[in-house]
Amino acid sequence: MSVVFLLIVAYFVVLIFIGWFTRKKVSTFKDYALAGRKVGSFYLSSTILATFLGGGTLIGLTGRIAESGISNY
Protein backbone atom coordinates (compact mmCIF):
# COMPACT_ATOMS: atom_id res chain seq x y z
CA MET A 1 0.00 0.00 0.00
CA SER A 2 1.13 3.49 -0.69
CA VAL A 3 1.75 6.14 1.92
CA VAL A 4 -0.96 8.37 0.46
CA PHE A 5 -3.57 5.65 0.85
CA LEU A 6 -2.55 5.08 4.47
CA LEU A 7 -2.76 8.81 5.19
CA ILE A 8 -6.25 8.99 3.72
CA VAL A 9 -7.40 6.01 5.77
CA ALA A 10 -5.87 7.49 8.93
CA TYR A 11 -7.61 10.80 8.23
CA PHE A 12 -11.00 9.11 7.95
CA VAL A 13 -10.39 7.06 11.09
CA VAL A 14 -9.60 10.25 13.02
CA LEU A 15 -12.79 11.88 11.67
CA ILE A 16 -14.87 8.90 12.75
CA PHE A 17 -13.40 8.98 16.26
CA ILE A 18 -14.04 12.72 16.57
CA GLY A 19 -17.65 12.18 15.53
CA TRP A 20 -18.03 9.22 17.87
CA PHE A 21 -16.74 11.09 20.92
CA THR A 22 -18.66 14.30 20.27
CA ARG A 23 -22.01 12.76 19.27
CA LYS A 24 -23.58 13.37 22.69
CA LYS A 25 -23.05 17.13 22.51
CA VAL A 26 -25.60 17.49 19.70
CA SER A 27 -29.21 16.63 20.49
CA THR A 28 -31.23 17.94 17.51
CA PHE A 29 -30.63 18.85 13.89
CA LYS A 30 -31.15 22.53 14.73
CA ASP A 31 -28.43 22.26 17.35
CA TYR A 32 -26.16 20.64 14.74
CA ALA A 33 -26.90 23.21 12.03
CA LEU A 34 -26.40 26.20 14.33
CA ALA A 35 -23.47 24.68 16.26
CA GLY A 36 -25.31 25.22 19.51
CA ARG A 37 -25.03 28.98 18.93
CA LYS A 38 -21.55 28.82 20.49
CA VAL A 39 -19.41 29.69 17.47
CA GLY A 40 -16.94 32.47 18.12
CA SER A 41 -16.49 35.44 15.83
CA PHE A 42 -13.12 34.19 14.54
CA TYR A 43 -14.55 30.85 13.39
CA LEU A 44 -17.65 32.48 11.96
CA SER A 45 -15.68 35.04 9.94
CA SER A 46 -13.24 32.34 8.77
CA THR A 47 -16.13 30.20 7.55
CA ILE A 48 -17.73 33.11 5.71
CA LEU A 49 -14.40 34.02 4.09
CA ALA A 50 -13.74 30.43 3.01
CA THR A 51 -17.23 30.16 1.52
CA PHE A 52 -16.81 33.45 -0.34
CA LEU A 53 -13.38 32.56 -1.73
CA GLY A 54 -14.28 28.98 -2.61
CA GLY A 55 -17.51 29.93 -4.34
CA GLY A 56 -15.88 32.83 -6.17
CA THR A 57 -13.09 30.64 -7.40
CA LEU A 58 -15.44 27.92 -8.60
CA ILE A 59 -17.85 30.26 -10.38
CA GLY A 60 -15.20 32.70 -11.60
CA LEU A 61 -12.84 30.09 -12.96
CA THR A 62 -15.55 28.23 -14.84
CA GLY A 63 -16.77 31.52 -16.27
CA ARG A 64 -13.30 32.43 -17.50
CA ILE A 65 -12.86 29.00 -19.04
CA ALA A 66 -16.21 29.37 -20.78
CA GLU A 67 -15.16 32.78 -22.17
CA SER A 68 -11.63 32.02 -23.32
CA GLY A 69 -11.44 28.24 -23.56
CA ILE A 70 -9.66 25.59 -21.54
CA SER A 71 -6.47 25.88 -23.59
CA ASN A 72 -5.63 29.18 -21.85
CA TYR A 73 -5.40 27.42 -18.51
Residue 73 neighbours by CB under 8 Å, 6+ apart: 61, 64, 65
Note the pLDDT of residue 73: 61
Does the pLDDT value for residue 71 go beyond 80? no
Note the pLDDT of residue 45: 92
Is the full-model pTM beyond 0.75?
no
At CA 25, angle to CA 38 and CA 47, rounded to 5?
Answer: 40
What is the mean pLDDT of the segment spanning 62-66?
Answer: 85
Asked if residue 26 lies in contact with residue 36, where contact means CB atoms within 8 angstroms, the answer is yes
- What one-character DSSP code corresponds to residue 50? H
pLDDT, one tens digit per residue, over 26-53 is: 888 888 777 778 888 898 899 899 999 8
Domain ranges (residues) in the chain: 1-35, 39-73
pLDDT, one tens digit per residue, over 4-21 is: 999 999 999 999 999 898
